[in-house]
C-alpha cells in the first residue's frame, strides 16, 4: 500500500485528503478540514501546513510517499516560494512554502495552484471522469481555471497556463488584481455578482434572484454573458469535451448554468452548439485536496488505473 497526502490551503480552512493505492486502484481514505487561522500570518500558516503534513507522514501513517499542497495564488515553480496570494492576509511575497515542509517531512513536496488541483480532481474522479480535454472554471472571490488533457494538468511553456479567468473579455472594463484591464474575473466572479445584485454574498444574490428580484436576476445575466464569451473563446481554441463550473454559485441549481450555456452557444459560431457541455462540479469542498493528492501521485510517477472517492 502507498499513500499520498494532499493539503488545500484556503483563507478559512485547510482541507486534507489522504489517497491510498492498492492494486492500482486509487481511493480516498480520509478527508478532514482544520482552521487556517490566516490572520496569524504567513509563517504561522506555513508552519501549520508543515506540522499537519508531519503528523500524517511520521505519526498517523508511515507509508506516505509524497505531499502536495494546493495554494490560492501564484508561486515560483523553481524555488517553491510564494509570489502572490491576493486573498490571504500578510506579506506572502517570497515566503518559502516548499522548503519548510520538505525539511520537516523528508519526503517529496509538490505545489499546485488550487484551481488546477480542483481541475485535476474533477477530471479524474468528478463530472469529467474519462473525458479529454477538460476545462474547469471556479467562481469565487476571483475566477480560477484549469485545463486537463489526457489526465494531466496542462501548464504550458510558462507553467502558468489554465488561467481562464484572466482572459481579457472587455478591454474597457475594470482593472483586475493581476494588473490587466477587463479580465473575465472582474466581470463574472462571485464578488461581481454580489456587487451587481447589491448584496453581501452571492448566496443572497441567488436567493433574491429566485424570488424574482430583477436587480439580482440581471446580475446573474450579466455574469453569464461574460462567462459565455469566455467559454466560447476557450471552445474555439481548445474545444474541450466538457466544461466544469465550480464554486458556491455554480452549485445553486440550473438557473445560472442555463444562462451561461445559452450565451456560450450563441457566441460559438465554429462548432455545433450541442458540442458545448457545461456541468456543475461534483466533488464538493474536498476537490482541491483530492486534486492536490493526485498531483503528488502523478509527480511521484505512481501508477493507478482509477480513483474512487467512496
Same domain flag for 101 and 147: no
Q: Would you report the helix, strand and coil content of the chain in percent, each value rounded to 5?
A: 40, 25, 35
Other C-beta atoms closer than 10 Å to the C-beta of 200 total: 9
| Residue 54 pLDDT | 96
Same domain flag for 213 and 274: yes
Same domain flag for 15 and 104: yes
% of the chain beyond a pLDDT of 90: 81
What CATH number should be reported for the domain holding residue 172?
Answer: 3.30.420.40
Q: What is the pLDDT of residues 119-170, one digit of tens each?
A: 999 999 898 988 999 999 999 888 999 999 999 999 999 999 999 999 999 9
| Residue 136 pLDDT | 97
Same domain flag for 81 and 142: no
Same domain flag for 202 and 277: yes
The CA-CA-CA angle for residues 189, 191, 196, to 5°, reads 100
Full residue range of the structural domain in which residue 62 is found: 2-117+285-308
Lowest-pLDDT choice from 54-58, 196-200, 211-215, 250-254: 250-254
How sure is the predictor about 307, in pLDDT bands with cuts at 50, 70 and 90? low
Same domain flag for 146 and 261: yes
Same domain flag for 268 and 158: yes
| Residue 38 pLDDT | 94
Other C-beta atoms closer than 10 Å to the C-beta of 9 total: 26
> Does 260 reside within a domain?
yes
Please determine, for residue 310, whether its predicted confidence score (pLDDT) is greater than 60: no
> Does 95 reside within a domain?
yes
> Does 125 reside within a domain?
no
Euclidean distance between the first and final Cα of the chain, in Å? 18
β-pairing verdict for 64-71 and 2-9: parallel
pTM (two decimals)? 0.92
Same domain flag for 157 and 62: no
Which residue's C-alpha cell is 508511515? 62
Same domain flag for 255 and 295: no
Please determine, for residue 302, whether its predicted confidence score (pLDDT) is greater than 80: no
Provide φ and ψ at 222, rounded to 5°.
-65, -45
Same domain flag for 47 and 108: yes
| Residue 212 pLDDT | 95
Same domain flag for 215 and 290: no
Q: What is the pLDDT of residues 89-104, one digit of tens each?
A: 999 999 999 999 999 9
CB environment 59-97: b (16+ within 10 A), e (fewer): eebeebbbbbbbbbbbbeeeebbbeebeebeeebeebbb
Residue 84 or 17, more confident: 17
How sure is the predictor about 86, in pLDDT bands with cuts at 50, 70 and 90? confident
Same domain flag for 145 and 90: no
The domain tally of the chain equals 2
> Does 228 reside within a domain?
yes
The mean predicted confidence, pLDDT, of the chain is 92
> Does 124 reside within a domain?
no
Q: What is the pLDDT of residues 37-49, one digit of tens each?
A: 999 999 999 999 9
Amino acid at each position: 500500500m502507498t499513500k499520498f497526502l494532499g493539503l488545500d490551503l484556503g483563507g478559512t480552512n485547510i482541507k486534507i485528503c489522504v489517497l491510498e493505492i492498492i492494486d492500482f486502484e486509487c481511493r480516498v481514505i480520509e478527508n478532514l478540514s482544520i482552521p487556517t487561522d490566516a490572520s496569524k500570518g504567513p509563517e504561522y500558516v506555513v508552519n501549520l501546513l508543515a506540522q499537519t503534513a508531519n503528523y500524517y507522514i511520521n505519526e498517523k501513517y508511515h507509508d506516505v510517499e509524497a505531499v502536495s499542497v494546493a495554494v490560492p495564488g501564484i508561486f515560483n515553480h523553481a524555488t517553491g516560494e510564494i509570489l502572490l496570494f491576493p486573498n490571504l492576509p500578510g506579506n506572502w511575497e517570497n515566503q518559502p512554502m516548499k522548503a519548510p515542509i520538505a525539511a520537516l517531512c523528508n519526503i517529496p513536496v509538490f505545489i499546485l495552484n488550487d484551481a488546477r488541483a480542483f481541475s485535476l480532481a474533477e477530471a479524474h474522479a468528478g463530472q469529467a471522469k474519462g473525458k479529454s480535454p477538460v476545462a474547469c472554471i471556479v467562481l469565487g472571490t476571483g475566477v480560477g481555471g484549469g485545463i486537463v488533457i489526457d489526465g494531466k494538468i496542462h501548464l504550458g511553456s510558462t507553467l502558468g497556463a489554465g488561467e481562464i479567468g484572466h482572459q481579457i473579455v472587455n478591454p474597457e472594463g475594470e482593472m483586475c488584481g493581476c494588473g490587466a484591464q477587463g479580465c473575465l474575473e472582474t466581470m463574472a466572479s462571485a464578488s461581481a455578482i454580489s456587487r451587481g445584485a447589491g448584496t453581501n454574498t452571492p448566496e443572497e444574490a441567488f436567493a433574491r434572484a429566485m424570488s424574482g428580484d430583477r436587480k439580482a436576476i440581471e446580475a446573474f445575466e450579466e455574469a453569464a454573458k461574460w462567462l459565455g464569451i469566455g467559454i466560447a473563446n476557450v471552445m474555439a481554441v481548445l474545444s474541450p469535451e466538457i466544461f466544469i463550473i465550480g464554486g458556491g454559485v455554480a452549485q445553486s441549481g440550473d438557473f445560472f448554468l442555463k444562462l451561461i450555456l445559452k450565451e456560450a452557444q450563441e457566441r460559438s459560431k465554429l462548432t455545433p452548439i450541442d458540442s458545448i457541455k457545461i456541468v456543475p462540479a461534483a466533488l464538493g469542498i474536498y476537490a482541491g485536496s483530492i486534486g492536490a493528492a493526485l498531483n503528488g501521485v502523478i509527480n511521484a510517477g505512481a501508477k493507478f488505473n482509477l480513483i474512487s472517492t467512496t
